[in-house]
Chains A and B, each alone.
Chain A
Amino acid sequence: MSDTTPELSPVLSAVLEGLGDKVLGWHSQFGDDTVLVDGAARRDVATWLKDGDLAFDMLMDTTVVDYIEEEPRFEVVDHFFSTKHHHRIRVKSRVPEDKPNSPSLTPLYGSANWMEREAFDMYGVVFDDHPDMRRILLYPEFQGYPLRKDYDKLHEQPLFPARYSGVRETDEVMNPRVGVELPIHGTEVPR
């Protein structure tokens, strides 16, 4: 699976020919054909891929990658697959942080429904014309978008305060208070 061959696979050459100037970049690293398109052109590109000869009739996966140090920040990544020709392509499109909107693929593919909901849930990228844009894996009271790079992994948002379970946490074990009366279990305010 070398990534240095300069010749294009038939799929990639057909896509580059057909899309023309909509393609902002492409590569064929590790055997996967990838094209980079403009954030607003996502649905047009998907329509062309689906209705054309390449017959990409299955949207395998939609996800978002957070490039926090780059602008635009979010990259929406779609994987398409053709059940007729058994070929794949990856379409990436960038979306800025201040206006993280991307056109939804729900009119074209049914699988886009749940996958875009998950992308919204995890990253906060809003998909326009999605019929049901709400959280799917997390609860509605959750604030923030956990898979963003600036969300702390350990920042929990419990729905109700935890029941104090008895054993002191690490700091008591590592630095026990000596000579001070410890509070009696059951009387502290829960964390």
Chain B
Amino acid sequence: MAVDPSKIVQLGDGRNGNLVPEDPTHNTLLTRAGLEDTVWATRLDAVMGWARKFSLFQYPFVTACCGMEFMAVSASHYDTDRFGAALPRFSPRQADMLMIVGTIVHKQAPVLKAVYEQMADPKWVVAVGACAVSGGFYQNYTSVPGADKIIPVDVYIPGCPPRPETILDALVKLQEKIQHSRHNVL
């Protein structure tokens, strides 16, 4: 089948959670000054990355069993506070990390989408557990086969439920991703 050249969309780099990126002509100060790829921008991005990764405010979208492991990972044995990601913000407007913990069903899908759309940029999404990653072993009329059928996901955590160390490992991977992405602040 022939490809229509006008429809070719350049795939995004996947950072900041979007495979199809937003308008690439960022109208930022450094872009207008032509300093977009210089040391000023990269150092600034590194500083912003460091700041953002250690102050993640999570929105725990807890539905099912993985919520118990999420509770355990926030408690004293395996502490997310060490990583700066302790405080859950129960309003999506104030949160920047959406953790989808548990199965998403079709009744819940519009709610998840609404919560994601209410979050302000920059936002990252973590799918915790097999059900959020791919539907788990629920393959039926009501289960959404993976939260990424609804919203873009940055980090996928397998496990049913994943051990708390796995969730912490995913948090560290997300922090690495945040550290090395473009933040386009200034």
Q: Which residues on A are within 8 Å of B, measured CB to CB?
A: 138-139, 146, 151-160, 162-163, 165-166, 180-181, 183-187
Contacts and interface: CB of A to CB of B under 8 A. Distances in A.
A163 B106 contact: no
Given A154-B140, A163-B148, A186-B19, A181 B11 contact: no
Interface of B: 1-3, 7-9, 11, 19-20, 106-107, 109-110, 113, 139-142, 144, 146, 148-152
Given A185-B11, A186-B19, A187-B9, A146 B142 contact: yes
Main secondary structure of the interface of B (DSSP, over half): loop
Contacts of B150: 162-163
B149 A157 contact: no
A186 B21 CA distance: 11
Contacts, number: 65
A159 B7 contact: no
Main secondary structure of the interface of A (DSSP, over half): loop
A162 B135 CA distance: 14
Contacts of B7: 184, 187
B141 A146 contact: yes
A43 to B, nearest CB: 31
Contacts of B11: 185-186
